[in-house]
Structure 1
Amino acid sequence: MRNVSIDELDDTPRVVVAIGTDYAHGHLLARHTHRRAQLLYGATGVMQVSTHDGSWVVPPQRAVWIPAGVAHEVLMLGVSTRSLYIEPEAVDLGRQCQVIDVSPLMRHLLMEAVEAPLNYDEAGRDAVLMDLLLHELARSTHLPLHIPLPVEPRLLGLCQAFVQQPNAHQSPRQWADQLHISLRTFNRLFRQQTGLSFSQWRQQACVVLALARLATGTPVTRIALDCGYESPAAFSTMFRRILGQAPSVWLAATNS
């Protein structure tokens, strides 16, 4: 199925409903929920997914898992999607969104799935295809492309400001002083609220934010300087530490 809302198809008597949708650049899907879980794959472009738990950047040819009932909004940047809407009991990848790597096999299966009839033969080839997709999804690799956000209001404000204007030179001492708490208390609070140390969070946020800009053609030098790094080399070293690849290698693999 193509360019149809899941709201019209949610009661389809099949475990998986596959829909392909084309979006204009900059289209924002306002916050909403689905009864079914969703695997949202971007064949092209970049998606930015936000929930109350944080933000995820989904580069081209990756996908995001959105659990059933989780309120989310999605910013589409030149995206053509392939979505699987899955009955909640069919696959359990946890109660939080996750960006996942998409194997070549899964990519081809997703392309085929949206061409299948809505009420596909449950004893036929299309049912086998959907079942194989669920198996591939269950064994998929998760990618660290999440910026977790705290609940504590004052700390949340600082994190949101950083996401709007990242700065690799900001220190935990500066944030602690703004919150009028000791450095030790700040470090404990930050880890409790985000699951990461301040340094880990700062680096992960810079990488996640950089991915969206890399995928839309922004030069590495410009991104590095905008994030406060002294040089592209320093930024690339940090990027490689988080994702295991230099930005140029990651970008080449994404575009292959």
Structure 2
Amino acid sequence: MRNIPIAEVDGLDRAVVAIGTDYPPDHLLPWHEHRRAQVLYAATGLMHVETAEGAWTVPTARAVLIPPTVAHQVAMTGVSTRSLYIEPSAVPWFPARCQVVDVSALLRALILAAVEVEPRYPEHSRDAAVVALILHELRSLTPLPLDLPLPADPRLRRLCEQFLRQPHIHDAPARWCAELSVSERTLARLFRRGTGLGFAQWRQRACILHSLGPLAAGEPVTRIASRLGYDNPAAYTAAFGRLLGRPPTSYRVADR
């Protein structure tokens, strides 16, 4: 099925409903939630998924697992998605919070095939076998560190969201302290309590995840590193590798 809302087919008596959707450039899917668990796969483009707990960056050929009834919004750049909407009882292992995962070549092929199956596929057919194999493959997904925790405190969250619009690796904690009228020790405590990360660690992670969009668009590493404030491209590349375990070039679209 393609380009139809899940609400129109949510009641189908099948464990998995697969829908392919094409979105206009720079589209924002506003806050909403689903009764079913969702595997949201980026066939093209880049997605940013946000919930009350944090933000997840989803590059091309990766997917994000969205638990049932979790409110979320999705900002999309050049995105065509393939979604699996799954009855919660079929995936009791599903994570309680969003999670970005790598997608194997086999699972990618299965997801693409699922979009083409008859919605009311016979229970002992080839299409049913495809769905059963999808459910099996989903259990062995590899999580990726593409999440950025966001604090619940409204004042700190506002500053975090401002930073994400124009991140800079040397943005000083003193500026944040002045905005919040707190000491650096208090800022550190607020960050640790609200995100589980220290300020510098959160800032570094935010910069690296922000860079995935320009990388996917083909922007040179040198320019990305400079805009983020790194002293040189090597410093940016090293920080990228420490977080994601791979060089920046591996996240270009040509990677898959």
Aligned to 2:50: 50
Separation in 2 of the partners of 1:173 and 1:137? Answer: 44
Aligned to 1:34: 34
Separation in 2 of the partners of 1:117 and 1:234? Answer: 50
Q: Aligned-pair distance for 1:211? A: 0.5
Unaligned stretches of 5+ residues in structure 2: none
Aligned to 1:162: 163
Per-residue CA deviations over 1:153-188 (Å, capped at 9, x if unaligned) read 221122112101111112334433443333333222
2:218–2:252 CA contact under 8 A, matched in 1? no
Q: Aligned-pair distance for 1:57? A: 1.3
Tell me the matched-pair count: 255
Per-residue CA deviations over 1:23-47 (Å, capped at 9, x if unaligned) read 1211221211111111010111111
Per-residue CA deviations over 1:165-217 (Å, capped at 9, x if unaligned) read 11111233443344333333322221110011112211111111110121122
Structure 1 counterpart of 2:195, one-letter code: T
Structure 2 counterpart of 1:29, one-letter code: L
2:65–2:95 CA contact under 8 A, matched in 1? no
Aligned to 1:82: 82
Aligned to 2:119: 118
What does 1:93-172 align with in structure 2 at a 5 Å threshold? 93-172=94-173
Separation in 2 of the partners of 1:154 and 1:76? Answer: 26
Aligned to 2:192: 191
TM-score with structure 2 setting the length:
0.94
Residue 89 of structure 1 aligns to a residue whose secondary structure is helix
Separation in 1 of the partners of 2:251 and 2:85? Answer: 29
Aligned to 1:213: 214
Aligned to 1:14: 14
Q: CA RMSD in A?
A: 1.6
2:215–2:249 CA contact under 8 A, matched in 1? no
Structure 1 counterpart of 2:50, one-letter code: S
Aligned to 1:71: 71
Per-residue CA deviations over 1:119-165 (Å, capped at 9, x if unaligned) read 11112221221121112112211111112110112211221121011
Aligned to 1:234: 235
Separation in 2 of the partners of 1:137 and 1:116? Answer: 18
Separation in 2 of the partners of 1:230 and 1:28? Answer: 33
Separation in 2 of the partners of 1:71 and 1:83? Answer: 16
TM-score with structure 1 setting the length:
0.94
2:215–2:251 CA contact under 8 A, matched in 1? no
Separation in 2 of the partners of 1:249 and 1:4? Answer: 33
Post-superposition, which runs of at least 4 consecutive aligned residues in structure 1 deviate over 3 A?
A: 171-174
Separation in 1 of the partners of 2:154 and 2:49? Answer: 21
Per-residue CA deviations over 1:25-83 (Å, capped at 9, x if unaligned) read 11221211111111010111111212222221110000011111111111221112111
Is residue 175 from structure 1 mapped to residue 142 from structure 2 by the alignment?
no
